Amino acid sequence: MYLEVGLAHFFYGLNQMQDLQQDIQEQLRELDSELDLVALEQPGKEALRLFIDHPEGVDLALCEKVTHHLNRLRAEYALEVSSPGPKYSNQKELQ
């Protein structure tokens, strides 16, 4: 559903992204309880970029495993799965 009333389409899209992010996080936890979805971006209408983190680090094999686990999303989106990089510090661990 697309709304064209003022900023309504923005808020609808924001809620949809939040729901999608929560759904992806739940699917990641099914795969590995320590996997964390750090960020989710939508660089294009049919593309999603996921940044994941894991206490033991993120390598290509884990990114591939996540991509295959999210197979249902691959029917609708091109997925890019990567790590936020070595300088990323998971703020949840600091709290």
Domain boundaries in the chain? 8-94
**What are the tens digits of pLDDT across the range 2-15?**
334 444 434 445 67
CB 52 within 8 A of CB 35: yes
How confident is the model at residue 32, as a pLDDT?
Answer: 96
How confident is the model at residue 64, as a pLDDT?
Answer: 96
| Distance set, CA 26 to CA 16, 32, 37, 48, 93 (Å) | 15, 10, 9, 16, 19
How confident is the model at residue 60, as a pLDDT?
Answer: 95
**What are the tens digits of pLDDT across the range 16-71?**
888 999 999 999 999 999 999 999 999 988 999 999 999 999 999 999 999 999 99
How confident is the model at residue 3, as a pLDDT?
Answer: 37
How confident is the model at residue 24, as a pLDDT?
Answer: 95
C-alpha to C-alpha distance for 64 and 81, rounded to whole angstroms = 8
Query: What token pair was written down for 12?
Result: 């609808």
How confident is the model at residue 29, as a pLDDT?
Answer: 96
CATH for 8-94, options being 2.60.40, 3.30.300, 3.40.50, 3.30.1360: 3.30.300
